[in-house]
Amino acid sequence: MNQISRRRLSRLEKLVASVVAKRKRREPEEAAWRRQAALDHATKLVVLILHGDPHIEEPLAIAWQRALTQLGLVGIHQVMLPYRLCDVVAALPGDTENAKFAHVLCSAPRWLLDFCDASLDCFVLGIELPKSSEPAPEYGRDGLRDSIDSWPDLPTGTIGAGRPIPKPNPMRALSPEECIDLIGLLKSGEENWSRRDRHRYREIMAKVDRDELSRAQYRFKPGKSGNPKGRIELMMSLGSAALKGDVGAAAMLLKMRAHCEKRGDINPMTVRLSKEDMRVL
């Protein structure tokens, strides 16, 4: 190894050591944030279960407002609200905080625990819940997005909002740790991802059947073989959804338009030849 190679290697070793040290310093901060986020989320969920009387067909924001009204906490500043909610949990039966949480969570219906991602709280806080015998809830596209985007807050809509998601829910192939990592990545924004973040995102999403998820988002009845009716119905379905405020459908239409402008008509071209033309050929 010559002198130039040794210098390069030395610079790389210093760079790697700096990155590793920075990551080790960040790990305790991330662990502390996760625990506090799970604690706040579990507290809100317990309050919702006990005082909100949530229903599967009702937006969860209404049930949350009902819980705050019943506790006389409407209008309380958001900074002070967690402390007031902790008083509700402290009054529950149980020797430990986890026992208090588990006592209430076990009484909740499966759809609510699933929609609010209670499994993430249980994973971070070390709460063990018995396996539910209830069937898996049926998600809608908007309901799934609401669930993923909300943690560590509560969802605001309904679990079945939007087009149906195939059963079983493709996102449920992820472990709680992978779900937490995915939520963190989505909240930070793709433009802020490091190379390691991009690798982690690809690693997580490789477990999700995105083709099945996409087919559930935009379903249409295809026409007969050789008939463009299926594509026409797809365009009509996307147009109708876009007019109703579906951003995903509007984005899909714009992509299709850009593709057609670049590549032209995708339909087969028919050329009619006369007898004179055929003789020339």
pLDDT digits (tens, 9 = 90+) for 45-63: 999 999 999 999 999 999 9
Q: What does the pLDDT average to over 130-156?
A: 84
Cα torsion angle, 243, 248, 254, 256, sign: negative
Looking at per-residue confidence, does 171 or 247 come out higher? 171
For residue 67, the model assigns a pLDDT of 92
Query: Any idea what DSSP says for residue 218?
Result: S
Distance CA 248, CA 212 (A): 16
pLDDT in tens, 211-232: 555 544 444 444 443 444 445 5
Integer-rounded Cα Rg, in Å, for the chain is 26
pLDDT digits (tens, 9 = 90+) for 16-33: 676 667 767 777 888 888
Residues in contact with 60: Cβ distance below 8 Å, sequence separation at least 6, in sequence order: 48, 54, 115, 116, 154, 155, 156, 157, 158
Domain ranges of the chain: 3-161, 229-263
The 10s digit of each residue's pLDDT in 111-125 is 999 999 898 899 888
Round the average pLDDT of the chain to a whole number and report it.
Answer: 77
Does residue 277 register a pLDDT over 50? Answer: yes
The neighbour count for residue 260, using CB atoms within 10 Å, is 11
**What is the total residue count of the chain?**
281
**Mean pLDDT, to the nearest integer, of 142-162?**
87
b/e per residue 44-77 (b: at least 16 CB within 10 A): bbbbbbbbbebeeeebbeebbebbbeebebeeee
**Would you state the pLDDT for residue 109?**
92
Question: Residue with structure tokens 């937490």?
Answer: 180
Tell me which amino acid residue 50 is.
L
Write the pLDDT tens digit of every residue in 165-213: 766 666 667 777 887 788 777 777 788 888 888 888 888 888 776 555 5
Helix ranges restricted to H, the chain? 3-51, 60-71, 81-90, 97-105, 110-115, 118-125, 141-150, 176-188, 195-205, 210-217, 229-243, 247-263, 275-280
More confidently predicted of 22 and 107: 107
Report the half-sphere exposure of 43 (CA within 13 A, side-chain side). 19
pLDDT at 51: 93
CA distances from 126 to 33, 38, 88, 158, 181 (A): 15, 10, 21, 28, 17
pLDDT tens readout for residues 65-102: 999 999 998 888 877 888 889 888 888 988 899 999 99
Q: Which residues contact 249 (CB under 8 A, 6 or more apart)?
A: 218, 237, 238, 239, 241, 242
- pLDDT more than 70, % of the chain: 70
**Paired strand residues for 164:** 140
Instruction: State what percent of residues in the chain have pLDDT above 90.
Output: 20
Per-residue pLDDT at 226: 42
Give the pLDDT of residue 267. 53
**Average pLDDT, integer, range 123-132:** 85
Q: What is the pTM of this model?
A: 0.61
Q: Give the bridge partners for 79, in sequence order.
A: none
Query: Quick check: bond before 137 cis, omega within 30?
Result: no
Alpha helices in 107-175 (DSSP H): 110-115, 118-125, 141-150
